[in-house]
């Protein structure tokens, strides 16, 4: 016991000494000896060369603009607390993107920064009818020089306003509830449910939503369909109930609206009484309803074989290789430089994209996102969404770290300003590098192998507009290639499927649940790409690869003529729409009119359908009744136009409200003006702009339930350097390895019998000072690895956070917005065009 006691004392006595020993032992056993602390390198501080003149208004600026307009434009009689669109109020303030003619001198010639203005949307009543009216306010910051002006110059309709037919979405829904209450007995009988006015979202209740159709004599006709709310899953659009009611909404006065025909199971009833009476008919054919259940769950928590191990995951132990100026939202990555901005209608845009110091694009951004349905029921038959109306930027919700983007991604917030309030969308943009599962380039030679990793940079936002989630990527590759990619997920907007033979759902989709049809639709998302390939003066050509029969002198006399192929260049000499060519047989290339590479070839960028599924399509429907004039951009895959300050975009979000009389007419923009420049008879300076479409013909099938899958819903257009540089620029950026298989030779073709005389080979790759792992491998017959770009030199201790981010850091507590319900804007529900 004495020993024990003494040992205990000694232990205490020597504790201070031993702490050092233990600390040393622990330290020496820590991974730092053999591995590196995760994320230990600091990000570089970094400043953009210019200010981001396209940046969205700050909260301060927005408030300043609101205050200024309220004080200044007293004639508008604006209210701060609108109750309906009968009240005049400022609906939206946002940055009025400056004209390129004003920014170019600032960006490229060090002229002063251009004036900053706000674009203002005011909900305003004329003679009792509500309109959305565009104004511009500026310059900012507000000073005595600032003023409020009608914003007309960017709309080729000559108007700065759009009539707003949605006098009150709240009242429409109220009307729908009353209508539904009047047929509670019918819905109870056919659907086993009724509306719950006290709690519209009662999962056991019903909802009704309208699809509107404007009619030539003025006003609207609405078709309402019943839905189960799907509050357990958010799957409302998978829960149509197959009862439809027609509402005569031709009157501006909602009190005068009347419920007319009813539609059920392919049969039209003149009114609810006939419908009710029909139920008692012994020949009345009932169809099952769509009941919410686990089949709409977006996840399955069950235990299944093989998923008891987590999947591979990408890590970035040393931090990013891009540089980010968060204030100016400027990114620099291996020669690429660009500014990021956002807008409430269109989400992320990029400006002033350069590669290795040369201009590539002035602007790249979404213009409009359209989904057009077809069907033989009153809902799907006329359904169409313009998601920029609901707001591709407004609906950029917080990204899920480690899932939507890698755990190591950088995040940016976005903001939008509506009705005097600033909405912050936290972590709604992510930026990250990723190493593909495949190389950028490789070659196996006789005595060596070289492999270069394909690490790319992505800027991503996800717009969830109601039922559907659009993941939008801007992707940059080391060779100068840019890609714009959309992947769709979320719930499809399905149709009610009637099981009898009076309908013909196979014409419009597949049956995918009890009473559910997959409802075919076209997605067409329009993008603007203002290419400035090595400067603003560009030409577009179609370079065709064509079959030809030719006679060659060296072929004589054995082969009098030869069936072969050759290149034929067709200049695009006027504004036009192009489709991706049959058999991918043409390259669409935008060339610099002035700059050539070292070999005398024009510097160019090729525009091509990219790595989405097949070729990107355009709209199937010809001269759509629903769309009217609002989406003529959707009629071809690609458009080449003159760039003009007065035509800054292909579409306006408010066109959704007036598709037949749009504030911007795309067909007036793409009106065959000459694209030949330099000739004395034209004032065109050669600055062209391209509009292109992404999207899909979506024929959903059972695998789209519950959610559309992104690996097959992707759509992409790429801009690929074509003789832009003198050789592949990625060689100076890429990380990779050269394996020296034997001695010092490189050699010819792998598998070849030549062995050659090593002493005579050009040992260009054998510099002794290269970083390599060649210990024991220097001799003949051993493999030596020589690396270019940085490699991992030690193991890494990866913290859990880098594998599985702690979701308690997720900022958003709900994705609910609770204002301006009456406008019907911003929720992505059925309204139709």
Q: For this structure, is 468 an active site residue?
A: yes
**Interaction between residue 576 and a copy of itself (CB under 8 A):** no
Torsion angle defined by CA atoms of residues 448, 449, 450 and 451, in that order, rounded to the nearest 10 degrees? -160
**Interaction between residue 723 and a copy of itself (CB under 8 A):** yes
Residue of 146, 418, 593, 746 that binds a copy of itself (CB under 8 A): 746
Q: How many CB atoms lie within 10 A of CB 419?
A: 18
**Interaction between residue 535 and a copy of itself (CB under 8 A):** no
Whole-number Å distance between alpha carbons of 178 and 195: 9
Residue of 348, 353, 482, 520 that binds a copy of itself (CB under 8 A): 520
Instruction: From 62-70, 152-160, 187-195, 724-732, give the range in contact with a copy of itself by CB under 8 A.
Output: 724-732
Whole-number Å distance between alpha carbons of 213 and 219: 9
Q: Contacts with a copy of itself in 421-460 (CB under 8 A)?
A: 432-456, 458
Give 337's strand partners. Answer: 332, 354
Whole-number Å distance between alpha carbons of 82 and 724: 54
Q: Contacts with a copy of itself in 6-35 (CB under 8 A)?
A: 6-7, 10-11, 13-14, 17-18, 21-22, 25-26, 29-31, 34-35
**Interaction between residue 387 and a copy of itself (CB under 8 A):** no
Instruction: From 79-87, 98-106, 177-185, 296-304, give the range in contact with a copy of itself by CB under 8 A.
Output: 296-304
CB 684 within 8 Å of CB 675: yes
Q: Contacts with a copy of itself in 784-813 (CB under 8 A)?
A: 784-786, 788-800, 802-804, 806-808, 810, 812-813
Q: Contacts with a copy of itself in 74-113 (CB under 8 A)?
A: none
CB 54 within 8 Å of CB 98: yes
**Interaction between residue 783 and a copy of itself (CB under 8 A):** yes
3-state SS assignment for residue 208 = strand
Q: Which two tokens stand for residue 582?
A: 């049959």
User: Distance of CA 449 to CAs 160, 452, 557, 775, 780, Å?
Assistant: 63, 10, 43, 18, 16
Residues listed for the chain:
833
Whole-number Å distance between alpha carbons of 610 and 617: 12
| Residue 739: closest CA among 517, 443, 484 | 443
* CB of 71 or CB of 442, closer to a copy of itself: 442
Instruction: From 69-77, 413-421, 532-540, 575-583, give the range in contact with a copy of itself by CB under 8 A.
Output: 575-583
* CB of 10 or CB of 77, closer to a copy of itself: 10
**Interaction between residue 244 and a copy of itself (CB under 8 A):** yes
| Residue 652: closest CA among 156, 165, 218, 220 | 156
Residue of 826, 830, 832, 833 that binds a copy of itself (CB under 8 A): 826
| Residue 486: closest CA among 465, 455, 510, 517 | 465
What is the CA 182 to chain-centroid distance, rounded? Answer: 43
**Interaction between residue 254 and a copy of itself (CB under 8 A):** no
Whole-number Å distance between alpha carbons of 785 and 796: 21
Q: Where are the beta strands (DSSP E) in 743-793?
A: 772-773, 784-788
Residue of 71, 197, 204, 327 that binds a copy of itself (CB under 8 A): 204
* CB of 147 or CB of 511, closer to a copy of itself: 511
CB of 137 to a copy of itself, least distance (A): 26
**Interaction between residue 125 and a copy of itself (CB under 8 A):** no
Q: How many CB atoms lie within 10 A of CB 221?
A: 18
Residue of 82, 509, 648, 824 that binds a copy of itself (CB under 8 A): 509
Give 324's strand partners. Answer: 331
Size of the site for a copy of itself (CB under 8 A): 289
Q: Contacts with a copy of itself in 342-361 (CB under 8 A)?
A: none
**Tokens 């001695």 belong to residue:** 743
Q: Contacts with a copy of itself in 582-621 (CB under 8 A)?
A: 582-585, 587, 597, 599-601, 604, 608-618, 620-621
CB of 350 to a copy of itself, least distance (A): 19
CB of 338 to a copy of itself, least distance (A): 15
CB of 672 to a copy of itself, least distance (A): 22
CB of 656 to a copy of itself, least distance (A): 16
Residue of 328, 479, 575, 647 that binds a copy of itself (CB under 8 A): 479
Q: How many CB atoms lie within 10 A of CB 251?
A: 13
Residue of 82, 406, 461, 577 that binds a copy of itself (CB under 8 A): 406
* CB of 77 or CB of 791, closer to a copy of itself: 791
Residue of 63, 171, 254, 268 that binds a copy of itself (CB under 8 A): 268
3-state SS assignment for residue 789 = coil
**Interaction between residue 480 and a copy of itself (CB under 8 A):** yes
Whole-number Å distance between alpha carbons of 454 and 237: 39
DSSP letter at 735? -
* CB of 121 or CB of 730, closer to a copy of itself: 730
**Interaction between residue 288 and a copy of itself (CB under 8 A):** no
Options 292, 352, 387, 687, the catalytic residue: 387
Instruction: From 104-112, 197-205, 663-671, 676-684, give the range in contact with a copy of itself by CB under 8 A.
Output: 197-205
**Interaction between residue 279 and a copy of itself (CB under 8 A):** no
- Ramachandran bin of 733, using left for φ above 0, alpha for ψ from -120 to 50, beta for the remaining angles: alpha
DSSP one-letter string for 586-612: EEEEEEEEEEE-TTSPEEEEEEEE-SS
* CB of 686 or CB of 747, closer to a copy of itself: 747
Q: For this structure, is 787 an active site residue?
A: no
CB of 349 to a copy of itself, least distance (A): 20
Q: How many CB atoms lie within 10 A of CB 558?
A: 6
Sequence-ordered list of residues with C-beta below 8 angstroms from that of 162, at least 6 positions apart, any chain: 131, 132, 652, 654, 655, 657, 658, 663
| Residue 520: closest CA among 658, 617, 609 | 617
Options 169, 468, 477, 508, the catalytic residue: 468
Which residues are catalytically annotated?
A: 387, 468
């Amino acid at each position: 016991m004495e020993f024990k006691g003494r040992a205990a004392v000694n232990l205490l006595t020597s504790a201070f000494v031993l702490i050092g020993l233990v600390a040393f032992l622990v330290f020496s056993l820590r991974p730092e000896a053999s591995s590196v602390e995760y994320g230990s390198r600091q990000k570089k501080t970094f400043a953009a060369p210019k200010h981001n003149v396209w940046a969205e208004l700050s909260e301060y600026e927005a408030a300043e603009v609101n205050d200024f307009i309220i004080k200044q434009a007293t004639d508008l009689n604006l209210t701060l607390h609108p109750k309906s669109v009968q009240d005049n109020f400022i609906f939206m303030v946002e940055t009025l993107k400056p004209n390129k003619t004003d920014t170019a001198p600032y960006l490229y010639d060090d002229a002063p920064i251009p004036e900053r203005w706000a674009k203002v949307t005011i909900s305003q009543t004329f003679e009792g009818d509500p309109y959305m009216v565009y104004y511009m306010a500026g310059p900012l910051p507000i000073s005595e020089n600032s003023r409020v002006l009608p914003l007309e110059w960017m709309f080729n309709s000559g108007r700065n306003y759009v009539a707003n037919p949605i006098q009150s979405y709240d009242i429409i829904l109220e009307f729908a509830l009353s209508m539904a209450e009047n047929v509670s007995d019918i819905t109870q009988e056919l659907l086993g449910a009724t509306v719950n006015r006290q709690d519209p979202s009662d999962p056991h209740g019903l909802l009704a939503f309208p699809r509107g159709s404007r009619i030539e004599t003025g006003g609207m006709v609405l078709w309402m369909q019943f839905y189960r709310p799907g509050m357990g899953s958010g799957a409302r659009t998978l829960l149509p109930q197959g009862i439809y009611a027609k509402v005569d909404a031709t009157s501006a006065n909602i009190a005068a609206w009347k419920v007319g025909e009813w539609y059920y199971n392919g049969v039209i009833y003149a009114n609810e009484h006939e419908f009710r009476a029909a139920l008692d008919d012994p020949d009345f054919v009932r169809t099952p309803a769509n009941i919410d259940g686990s089949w709409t769950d977006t996840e399955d928590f069950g235990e299944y074989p093989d998923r008891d191990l987590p999947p591979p995951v990408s890590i970035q132990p040393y931090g990013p290789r891009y540089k980010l100026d968060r204030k100016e939202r400027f990114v620099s990555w291996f020669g690429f430089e660009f500014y990021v901005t956002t807008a409430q209608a269109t989400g992320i845009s990029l400006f002033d994209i350069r590669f290795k110091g040369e201009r590539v694009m002035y602007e790249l951004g979404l213009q409009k996102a359209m989904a057009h349905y077809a069907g033989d029921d009153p809902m799907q038959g006329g359904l169409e969404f313009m998601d920029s109306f609901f707001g591709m930027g407004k609906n950029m919700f917080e990204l899920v770290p480690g899932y939507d983007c890698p755990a190591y991604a950088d995040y940016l917030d976005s903001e939008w300003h509506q009705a005097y309030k600033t909405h912050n969308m936290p972590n709604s943009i992510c930026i990250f590098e990723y190493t593909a599962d495949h190389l950028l380039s490789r070659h196996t030679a006789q005595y060596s192998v070289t492999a270069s990793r394909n690490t790319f940079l992505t800027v991503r936002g996800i717009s969830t507009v109601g039922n559907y989630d659009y993941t939008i990527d801007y992707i940059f590759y080391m060779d100068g290639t840019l890609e714009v990619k959309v992947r769709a997920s979320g719930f499809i907007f399905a149709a009610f499927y009637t099981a009898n033979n009076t309908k013909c759902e196979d014409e419009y989709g597949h049956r995918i649940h009890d009473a559910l049809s997959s409802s075919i639709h076209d997605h067409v998302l329009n993008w603007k790409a203002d290419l400035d390939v090595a400067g603003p003066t560009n030409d577009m050509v179609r370079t065709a690869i064509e079959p030809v029969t030719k006679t060659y002198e060296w072929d004589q006399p054995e082969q009098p003529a030869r069936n072969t192929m050759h290149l034929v260049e067709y200049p695009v000499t006027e504004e036009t729409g192009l489709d991706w060519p049959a058999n991918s047989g043409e390259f669409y290339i935008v060339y610099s009119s002035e700059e050539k590479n070292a070999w005398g070839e024009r510097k160019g960028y090729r525009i091509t359908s990219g790595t989405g599924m097949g070729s990107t399509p355009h709209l199937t429907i010809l001269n759509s009744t629903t769309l009217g004039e609002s989406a003529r951009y959707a009629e071809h895959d690609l458009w080449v136009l003159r760039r003009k300050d007065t035509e800054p975009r292909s579409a306006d979000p408010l066109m959704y409200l007036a598709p037949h009389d749009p504030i911007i007419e795309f067909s007036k923009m793409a009106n065959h003006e000459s694209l030949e420049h330099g000739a004395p008879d034209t004032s065109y300076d050669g600055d062209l702009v391209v509009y292109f479409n992404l999207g899909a013909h979506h024929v959903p099938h059972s695998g789209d339930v519950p959610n559309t899958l992104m690996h097959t819903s992707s759509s992409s257009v790429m801009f690929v350097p074509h003789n832009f540089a003198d050789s592949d620029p990625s060689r100076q950026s890429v990380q990779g390895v050269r394996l020296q298989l034997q001695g010092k030779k490189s050699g010819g073709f792998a598998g070849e019998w030549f062995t050659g005389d090593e002493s005579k080979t050009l040992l260009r790759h054998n510099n002794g000072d290269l970083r390599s792992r060649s210990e024991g491998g220097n001799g003949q017959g051993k493999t030596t690895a020589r690396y270019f770009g940085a490699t991992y030199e030690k193991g890494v201790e990866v913290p859990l956070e880098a594998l599985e981010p702690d979701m308690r850091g997720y900022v958003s507590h709900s994705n609910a917005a609770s204002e301006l319900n009456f406008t019907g804007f911003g929720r992505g529900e059925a309204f139709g065009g």
